[in-house]
Amino acid sequence: MYQNIYQRNIKREVSTTGVGIHSGTPVTMRLQPAMPDDGIQFVLQYVNNTGTDTVKIPAHFSMVKSTTLATTLTKGNVNISTVEHLMATLSAFGIDNLTIYVDGSELPVLDGSAKGLVLLLNSAGIFETTQKRKFAEVTERVSVKSGDSWAELTPKEGGLFIDYTIVYENPHVGTQQFEFELTPDFFESEIAPARTFGLLEDVQSMLDRGLALGGTLDNALIIGNDGVLNPDGFRFPDECVRHKCLDALGDLALFGMPIIGKFTAYKSGHMLNHLLVKELAESGKYHIIEGNIIEERSEEKVDS
């Protein structure tokens, strides 16, 4: 079982600069420590009729307005897109309170994975506060479906477990399945390095829709009928499903508190992941537990 029961924060402010994979524009992201119980918020500047203003967007599923090839949060007419990689990384390392300043409408994609985000957090340093965390423990099965794609959350004591299956006709992707329990070390070595990917046949249609304008072989895996186009090839034989797990962790992190249970998905994506989190909240099939309850359970298992 893995859970850190105290709220965590970063020790110092850090920043990074890159391009948005869909917008293609440069963007700087700055991570700043926040107070306990403040949660995670994105802060953006935008131009209106009277000049420049600032808007805060909570990292919460209720703010999700688009799931087309990325998860986008919206408040009023201000958007922040592609938040899933950062949210997954914060979730894996148990960061509960953070203010994220962004000077664009999309987070930097870096190399298409969360590897650089892990390095950023490590450079910031992480410490535990004295405040206990709250967890959402799944009590009954919750599921959503679209065609033959589905996703569900089921009760499983201990932490967050992921079981993800993807199916692609492209033989260089095919059917891949990956299962694990989320821990910081496992995330850093086995999930974070997995890059976003796309099929060569879909690239032009994405460009026509104004998407993937910043995509290159330096920040995305492109897979054609003859194999992967990237000179360095795959980082893992099943890199594609691992990246889907990364995306799912980011979407689940938008619930607003860590989830205890098992997430199982078959051909899911941002839309179904979001709908599942929303269904969990609306169904009430969970109860909130405090960090000290997890402590007591751990002690009981040791005593037994």
The count of C-alpha atoms lying within 13 angstroms of the C-alpha of 88, restricted to the half-sphere facing its C-beta, is 32
The H-or-E segment that residue 73 falls in is strand 72-75
Q: What is the DSSP string of 120-131?
A: HHHHH-EEEEEE
Instruction: Assess whether 270 carries a catalytic annotation.
Output: yes
Integer angstrom CA distances of residue 52 from 63, 105, 191, 269? 22, 15, 38, 35
Task: Check 243, 270, 274, 287 and give the catalytic one.
Answer: 270
Q: Cα(100)–Cα(34) distance, rounded to whole angstroms?
A: 9
Closest by alpha carbon to 288, among 248, 258, 251, 247? 258
Q: Cα(196)–Cα(243) distance, rounded to whole angstroms?
A: 6
Q: Which residue type does 152 have?
A: E
Closest by alpha carbon to 286, among 177, 163, 149, 140? 140
Q: What are the catalytic residues?
A: 270
